[in-house]
Amino acid sequence: MKIAFALMVHRTDDERVAFQEAASLRDCGDKVDIFSVAGKEMNREEKMRWMRERLSSSEYDVIICDTPIAVNVACQVRKKNRGASIKTKVIYDITEWYPSKKNLRGHSFVQTIIRFISLSLLSLVAGCRTDGFIFGEHYKSFPFRYLFFWKPMSVISYYAPLNKIKMIPMKESLQSNCTFYYSGNLTSEKGFNRVVSVVQQVALKRPSTQFVLKIVSSQVPNVRTTVPNLTTVHLNWMPFDAFCDTLGEGDIFFDLRDNDIENTHCLPIKLFYYMAAGRPMIYSNLKAIRKSIPEFNTIGCLVEPDKEEDIVKLLLSYIDNPKIYRNQCQNSINLSLLKYNWEAIKNDFLNFVHHGV
């Protein structure tokens, strides 16, 4: 089969698309093209025209889209090629809310309402026109699961490919040195300030332990700490393979994002990479995590992000009790191997693309 990915917001090297979905299709012998306008300095009409030109360059059996705009462009190409020998199927792979908070920021109240309604209608039109849905997680299936119940659909989660994660042995104890790991945007909404605060508090309470806060972000952190046993290390954005190779250098992973109405219904993709690396995680108590990983309390802790004192106590328990730390590391590895890995759901994806629509 000839398959194209039409990406309006995701890059050509997006981990889910390039290293899981597209790689699995190619392994089956499919010819796969990935087209992305992410990062291109074009207005909306220019992006749509660019994508139409790429999708018209060949007759594709399937076009997999990441946004309503991509779906509508793909359907325009299909309509234009109506007399072609191949009947192109269009799949909407939903991993983002549309509209989301980032689509609505920077507008007045009235403009926000109008924009929300118009973008919601665009999303529903895409739902009408697509031949099937792939949902990255349970809550992203709303409202499509109910409004288009007769259409083919499948939930294909964000599980990590185990063959990409370099396994670095866990430490026997964190009492001598401990590396905290944060990856993402350095904003208050994503909880970066909370991470810095709790790490500093832990370092002050255990002066005999050497701490490192490793920050992986394309943004430059502005972290000033006078705690003598705490060092911060900034790593810029890394290619996917480098990210997977260095994950295990962290001892405990953090994500203390705001627990608002949107965030709580979003399942963080990095969570499954942290799990595959075999390390405990401290995450905000998100509804999506509780829904998707009911065993989470065996591999980490879900916390209320603003309750820093409680988070500090949890971190100290890992440092003071090596057995608790090692048990959660091993549980993370076991769960990844048993259940939460791309290899376990890869065939579901392949069968849906090849035969489901």
Percentage of residues in the chain with pLDDT exceeding 70?
A: 99
Q: How far is CA 296 from the centre of its chain?
A: 17
Query: Per-residue DSSP letters for 265-322?
Result: G---THHHHHHHHT--EEEE--HHHHHH-TTGGGTEEEE-TT-HHHHHHHHHHHHH-H
| Same domain? 30 vs 107 | yes
- Letter for the amino acid at 5? F
| Same domain? 33 vs 136 | yes
Report the range of poorest mean pLDDT among 82-86, 110-114, 190-194.
82-86
Q: What band does 85 get if pLDDT is binned at 50, 70 and 90? A: low
| Same domain? 271 vs 298 | yes
- pLDDT over 90 at 112, yes or no: no
- Letter for the amino acid at 337? L
With a threshold of 0.85, does the pTM exceed it?
yes
Average pLDDT, the chain: 93
| Same domain? 26 vs 171 | no
Q: Which of 15, 35, 3, 55 is nearest to 273 (CA)?
A: 15
pLDDT for 168-190, tens place per residue? 999 999 999 999 999 999 998 99
- pLDDT over 90 at 65, yes or no: yes
Q: What band does 33 get if pLDDT is binned at 50, 70 and 90? A: very high
| Same domain? 183 vs 328 | yes
| Same domain? 111 vs 212 | no
pLDDT for 242-294, tens place per residue? 999 999 999 999 999 999 998 999 999 999 999 999 999 999 999 999 999 99
- pLDDT over 80 at 86, yes or no: no
| Consecutive H or E run containing 177 | strand 177-183
Confidence (pLDDT) at 115? 80
- Non-local (6+) Cβ contacts of 235 within 8 A are 214, 215, 216, 217, 246
| Domain CATH for 111 | 3.40.50.2000
Q: Looking at residues 14-31, what average pLDDT do you find?
A: 96
Phi, psi for residue 45 in degrees, rounded to 5: -65, -40
| Same domain? 185 vs 305 | yes
Q: What band does 84 get if pLDDT is binned at 50, 70 and 90? A: low
| Same domain? 33 vs 131 | yes
Structural domains of the chain, count: 2
Q: Which of 259, 250, 236 is nearest to 186 (CA)?
A: 236
Task: For residue 170, give its domain range.
Answer: 164-338
| Same domain? 50 vs 181 | no
Q: What band does 114 get if pLDDT is binned at 50, 70 and 90? A: confident
Q: Looking at residues 196-209, what average pLDDT do you find?
A: 96
| Same domain? 11 vs 121 | yes
Sheet harboring 62-65: ordered strands across? 31-36, 2-7, 62-65, 89-94, 132-135, 153-155
| Same domain? 177 vs 143 | no
- Non-local (6+) Cβ contacts of 347 within 8 A are none
Confidence (pLDDT) at 118? 86
Q: What band does 211 get if pLDDT is binned at 50, 70 and 90? A: very high
| Same domain? 256 vs 321 | yes
Q: Looking at residues 124-138, what average pLDDT do you find?
A: 95
